[in-house]
Amino acid sequence: MEDRLSGVSDDARPRLLLIDGHSMAFRAYFALPVDKFSTSTGQHTNAVHGFVSMLANLIKNEQPTHVAVAFDAGSTTFRTERFPDYKGGRESTPEPFKGQVPLIREVLDAMRITHYERDMIEADDILATWSKQAGAKGWQVLVCSGDRDSLQFVTPDVTVLYPVKGVSELARMTPEAVEAKYGVTPERYPDLAALVGESADNIPGVPKVGPKTAAKWLAQYGDLDGVLAHADEIGGVVGQNLRDHLDQVRLNREINHLLTDLDLPHSPEDLAVQPWDREALHQVFDTLQFRTLRDRLLAMMPAEDREDAPADAAVVEIDVLAPGTLGDWLAARRGQPIGLEVRGSFVPGAGDADMVALGDLEGHAVVLDLAQLDPADDTALGQWLAAEDAPVVAHGGKARAHALRGRGYTLRGVVLDTELAAYLCHPDQRSYDLEDLAVRNLHREIGASGPAGGQGALELDLEGEPGAGADLAERAAVLPVLAAALESDLKDRGSYDLLTTLELPLADVLEGMEARGVAVDVEMLRELECEFGQQVQGAAQEAYQVIGREVNLGSPKQLQEVLFDQLDMPRTKKIKTGYTTDAASLADLFAKTQHPFLEHLLVHRDVTKLRQTVDTLLRYVASDGRIHTTFQQTVAATGRLSSADPNLQNIPIRTAAGRRIRQAFRVGEGYETLLTADYSQIEMRIMAHLSGDEGLIAAFRSGEDLHSYVASRVFGVATDEVSAAQRSKIKAMSYGLAYGLSAFGLSKQLNVAVGEAQALMDDYFTRFGGVRTYLHEVVEEARATGFTETIRGRRRYLPDLTSDNRQRREIAERVALNSPIQGSAADIIKDAMLGVQRELDARGLRSRMLLQVHDELVLEVAPGELETVEELLRTQMAGAADLSVPLEVSVGRGQTWHDAGH
């Protein structure tokens, strides 16, 4: 189809995409659940995610040549000066939405998309001006806006993309579509709106005049001026209503007229699509912690459009070795770092490898099909992998070790793991994919150029998978080069020692723990599954009896109808779909009402979670009767380990039913008992050490109960006279202070007045002033340096500490308070694990570590070794850090994990 003005086909002429920023951001906010999108620092991101996702879809689907976004500069405009009630009926901005628009602007900057706002002017006016300018040039224009006022500048060249559902479904409002829906042409739409009004903008219309009546009048009299000129001729109630509201209609038409002649700093030609700034995208997505969306956007970037793409892509030379010559290839590179990549299954306890690639710093690689490996080469590979003095570079070395273990190999010489190194450099990042790291650090795309080894390399691929060996070779060859770049970065950040003396050695320890697994009583788990299932049904029936009917207890919509309509309970927090039915809100509602339906509903939810936990555990029981979890070193920004597949750190321990699940974990055959050990109040001990507060240090050195000791000083009573309520208040406050707890937060936690909570905090700081000084200084130091640091030197970078956005700044301040304490606790337990393993090996003991759950270690003790293992466990854990207060360790023993608790 040719453009009617220029005679140029639609595909050839410029295509301008314009977006109403605040309109789309608000729609995104309400389209996505706020509680499902937030960073580890607490920053809400649902509006950002929805907006960027919509933007990505628009760019992908519409293929614009030019793009821009307009934002509202504020609530005061020339329209509010003429009509103070303009948009006055809108609810206040939701607190979680605040701070998200600046983040959207950061993403736009990284994508090099122009965004603009102007005081006293609305985004619609900016869009209208750009649309008119581009339309006059014969361009195609697409305007994405949820404001119906934008329909007035629709033309054959300008189409409004109007959101119908959320931000995913858009209606294409062409001149024909506008007329079909409203009965008027686009240029007459503001006349219709002036008569009908616009509730979203708090613009009152003529009473009883709807779109059909207004459209009929406009068709009869030509335009709004014609309608007003003939107002006396219009009969009936609506005619009288029109005559009573003539001034309001004229004001409405003045207000809804969009400006099309603004003097803007950017012309349509200035809005051309630019190559995105890949590094800037990484930085903002690191902050937002968007993994999937990051991958999606980066996948949309054509290589030729990337500013940072290398002019000459690196080429991998695949060496085709004669049988029996792998040893020579390795000997020629003795002492040099060799990249190792493995293809296979990385499941702990059930790993396997079928292909291995090795790559050197010069871009040479070999690919080894393990099923067809020459015996001499197999021996050479095994010896090289097991040699501690053969420097290996891997990405996710622990997982590769599991795969190699399944083939009978032992991996020992990893000197740098690029995944762990990247994590230490960027601990708040969600993903550390090798392909992504290669682009960020080397400006090199894996797979972009292809290997130079010719057909000889491809012959090594497994049947039916051409190219697999070539891809593996390129990954292996990039590893030594990437390692050098990351090593430099680690040293600049003061984190290289943390990698080599803590994280890398720990990866070996964790690999052994994962491979061993922990024994479980499968029959007990099956009995629990059945029992919890019956309890779920019983709780549901009890709930049904209370309300006299059956409903889906897992449906928020049906629960809202029962709770707030049928039972007329007090409303919880307002959300888009009604009122929230999340766990915390329902628990609070039950505390207020004590309603039996809620009692049974909460029991149903709790037991359902227990049944799901047991179901998951049963799925992960391996053929050896043990569960092999995976410990993740790169998930928590504080340095804490996490557990996955299955998660053994979330098995409930505070309830009797949850503790019964722990009874299913038991000592394995050939071993005598389980031994557990954990730290007592380790975070408070670290607080005492870091703050140097003499009172807090004295509390720990006294040997008395910490919270009773502190409470006695705060409340001015003897230690043995501290009440349970006083101790509880001090405990809540002591731990809360390390998380930036405010007087308001403490008041809610303790269910007391804010004034009482503030007085409690003031009294606390009067007695323990060193804590107040530390909490202030740690934030100010982090603001000056840009990061916090643990006792061990683990850094967490917090750029938001200097943000102009108050909400983001306050969140970063809370993180700055907590990270040194929680991170130091994580480092201490890791050092303890290394010490325990070192002693077990040095003494030739058969006993072995199985699990780490936060501050707790679980060991399986061989016959006759109990006293020795308990002694070394206490010694190594207590000596894992040199603090100004003692590290107290509690130890328990038993046939099951539950019985070994203490």
Residue 623 neighbours by CB under 8 Å, 6+ apart = 350
* Spatial distance between the Cα atoms of 236 and 243, rounded to a whole number of angstroms: 11
Higher pLDDT pick, 336 / 448: 336
Is residue 216 assigned to a domain?
Answer: no
Residue 311, pLDDT score = 37
Residue 703 shares a structural domain with residue 802: yes
Evaluate whether residue 812 is within a structural domain: yes
What average pLDDT score do residues 449-475 get?
54
Does 23 lie in the same domain as 127? yes
The answer to whether 191 and 224 are in contact (CB under 8 A) is yes
Task: Quote the CA–CA distance of 687 and 667 in Å, as a whole number.
Answer: 36
**In 652-691, alpha helices (H):** 656-662, 682-691
Taking CA atoms, 624 is separated from 369, 515, 521, 621, 631, in Å, by 28, 11, 12, 8, 19
What average pLDDT is seen over the chain? 89
**Residue 134 sits in the same domain as residue 25:** yes
Could you tell me which of 61, 72, 71, 74 has the C-alpha nearest to residue 17? Answer: 61
CA distances to 383, 543, 564 from 552, rounded to whole Å, are 60, 11, 16
Residue 741, domain member (yes or no): yes
Q: How far, rounded to the nearest angstrom, does the alpha carbon of residue 799 sit from its chain's CA centroid? A: 17
Residues 724 and 785 in one domain: yes
Q: How far apart are CA 41 and CA 36, in angstroms?
A: 14
Count of domains observed in the chain: 4
Measured between alpha carbons, how far is residue 424 from residues 59, 396, 778 in Å? 34, 14, 20
Task: Please indicate, yes or no, whether residues 445 and 509 belong to a single structural domain of this protein.
Answer: yes
- 698 and 829 both lie in a single domain: no
Q: Are 490 and 399 in a shared domain?
A: yes
**pTM of the complete model:** 0.77
**295 inside domain:** no
Structure tokens, 881: 């850090």
Please answer whether residues 732 and 756 qualify as being in contact, where contact means their C-beta atoms are separated by less than 8 angstroms: no
Give 164 or 63, the one with higher predicted confidence: 63
pLDDT per position as a tens digit, 171-206: 999 999 999 999 999 999 999 989 988 877 778 889
Per residue in 607-633, is it b (16+ CB within 10 Å) or e — as a string? bbbbbebbeebbebbeeeebbbbbbbb
Secondary structure in 3-state letters for 177-222: HHHHHHCCCHHHHHHHHHHHCEHHHCECCCCCCCHHHHHHHHHHHC
CATH number, domain with residue 84 = 3.40.50.1010
Structure tokens at 170: 């858009």
Q: The tokens of 50 are what? A: 């929805």
The proportion of the chain whose per-residue pLDDT surpasses 70, expressed as a percent, equals 94
Average pLDDT over residues 477-499: 95
Euclidean distance between CA atoms 111 and 122, whole angstroms: 23
The verdict on residue 217 lying in a domain is: no
pLDDT at 468 (0 to 100):
67
Angle, CA 706 vertex, CA 653 and CA 795 arms, to 5°? 75
Pair 393, 477: CB distance under 8 Å: no
Among 459, 485, 518, give the residue marking a domain's end: 518
pLDDT of residue 88: 65
Pairing of strands 140-144, 158-165: parallel
Cα-based distances in Å from 618 to 526, 613, 622, 632, 645: 8, 9, 9, 21, 11
State the CATH number of the domain containing residue 769: 1.10.150.20
CA–CA separation, 286 and 45 (whole Å): 12
- Indicate if 479 and 501 belong to the same structural domain: yes
Range of the domain at 131: 15-174+259-271
Q: What is the dihedral of CA 531, 537, 538, 543, to 10 degrees?
A: 150
Same domain, 809 and 865: no
Residue 356 clears pLDDT 90, i.e. is over it: yes
Q: What is the pLDDT of residue 167?
A: 61
Residue with tokens 């000083």: 713
**Residue 127 Rama label (left phi>0; alpha psi -120 to 50; beta):** alpha
pLDDT (average), residues 102-128 = 92
Encode pLDDT of 809-823 as tens digits: 888 888 898 899 999
- Do the Cβ atoms of 150 and 131 come closer than 8 Å? no
**Mean pLDDT across the stretch 264-289?**
89
The position carrying tokens 């430099």 is 488
Per residue in 564-608, pLDDT tens?
999 999 988 877 678 889 888 898 899 889 999 999 999 999 999
> Do 56 and 144 sit in the same domain of this protein?
yes
Question: Of 792, 824, 856, which residue constitutes the final position of a domain?
Answer: 824
CATH code for the domain in which residue 889 is found: 3.30.70.370
Asked if residues 363 and 453 have their Cβ atoms less than 8 Å apart, the reply is no
Contacts of 251 (CB under 8 A, 6+ apart): 82, 83
Residues 832 and 818 in one domain: no
Neighbour tally for 853: CB within 10 Å: 19
Q: End of a domain among 467, 499, 518?
A: 518
- Please state at what angle helix 706-715 crosses helix 694-702, rounded to 10 degrees: 130
Assess whether 78 and 132 both reside in one domain: yes
How large is the average pLDDT for residues 223-227?
91
3-state SS assignment for residue 740: coil
Residue 299 has pLDDT above 80, yes or no: no
pLDDT(91) > 70: no
